[in-house]
Amino acid sequence: MTTDFRPGELVDVVIRAARVIEPRHTDDTALTLAYAEPQPGIFATLCIDHFDAKRVEITRVAPAEWPPQPGDLWRSAFGRLWFVYSYVNGEGRREQRFTPADDRAYGGNPCTPEALLSQEGPLTLVHREHRDDADGADL
């Protein structure tokens, strides 16, 4: 099992047949996860000292740079490039969409971040424009 996780990455953790002996925090913790949703201010931290591949499964969900921002350029696991733009849906809510740099990818159609992540992930951020909030408001 890989332990090369980066701060900010989103992961799913499945622990089978785990028994809590005593809560403790040590410097040799292999992985510390913080959960801070759905209510602000409520979080839990899980420290896993030793990985047992038969009993602990950790799967990357999204990279640390997630969620995508308008103007981003991402690369899929298949080497395809995707641009991110802001889209106003039928209910008037602003959402992010991916559009392929090559019209042969994904039928040339835009898609949601969740759809792209599940179908072409993992995704890697290639470029992100750093701007203040006022500059990106209309993207």
Residue 131: inside a domain = yes
- Tokens for 64, please give them: 């640390």
Residue 95: inside a domain = yes
| 131 and 77 housed in the same domain | yes
pTM, rounded to two decimals: 0.63
The answer to whether 72 and 128 have CB atoms below 8 angstroms apart is yes
Residue 15: inside a domain = yes
> Considering its fold, how many domains does the chain have in total?
2
| 97 and 125 housed in the same domain | yes
| 78 and 131 housed in the same domain | yes
| Pairwise CA distance, residues 61 & 66, whole Å | 10
Residue 34: inside a domain = yes
Pick from 18, 36, 62: which residue ends a domain?
62
What are the pLDDT digits (tens) for 41-98? Answer: 555 666 666 666 667 777 777 888 999 999 999 999 899 999 999 999 899 999 999 9
CB atoms under 10 Å from CB of 23, counted, come to: 7
pLDDT band of residue 18 (cuts 50, 70, 90) is low
| 79 and 132 housed in the same domain | yes
HEC profile of the chain: CCCCCCCCCEEEEEECCCCCCCCCCCCCCCEEEEECCCCCCCCEEEEECCCCCCCEEEEEEECCCCCCCCCCEEECCCCCEEEEEEEECCCCCEEEEEEECCCCHHHHCCECHHHHHHHHCCCEEEECCCCCHHHHCCC
The answer to whether 98 and 70 have CB atoms below 8 angstroms apart is no
For range 4-26, the mean pLDDT? 66
Residue numbers of the domain that contains 35: 10-62
| 78 and 48 housed in the same domain | no
Share of the chain above pLDDT 90, in %: 32
| 80 and 108 housed in the same domain | yes
| Pairwise CA distance, residues 120 & 76, whole Å | 5
Residue 18: inside a domain = yes
